[in-house]
Amino acid sequence: MKQHIQLIRKVYKERRDTMLQALKDNMPENVHWTYPKGGLFLWMTLPEGVDSSKIFTEAVARKSPLSQAAPSTPLAVVRTPCA
């Protein structure tokens, strides 16, 4: 069991790091996100006036791991298993 947990933690860390790098490389400066040390989610804060429901709809169409915090809010949740 211990070996399995170590393997999963390594895989989740790699996924987290990949997601964080993709956000850094692709998001404008006025989008902010958390740097999770564990768990399955990171939170993004979108600029004022951006409707997260539109982004969520597009993410679903692209099979992206995005969840909506609440309709029409500047918060989005990215589901990515983290170390």
Q: What does the pLDDT look like over 4-58, one tens digit per residue?
A: 999 988 988 888 898 889 889 988 999 888 888 877 778 888 888 887 778 778 8
Structural domain containing residue 25: 2-82
How many domains, in total, are found in the chain? 1
CA distance 20 to 80: 10
The secondary element (H helix, E strand) that includes residue 70 is none
Q: What is the CATH number of the domain that holds 73?
A: 3.90.1150.10
**Secondary structure tally for the chain: helices H, strands E:** 2, 4
Say yes or no to pLDDT of 71 above 60: no
Distance CA(25)–CA(11), nearest Å, equals 21
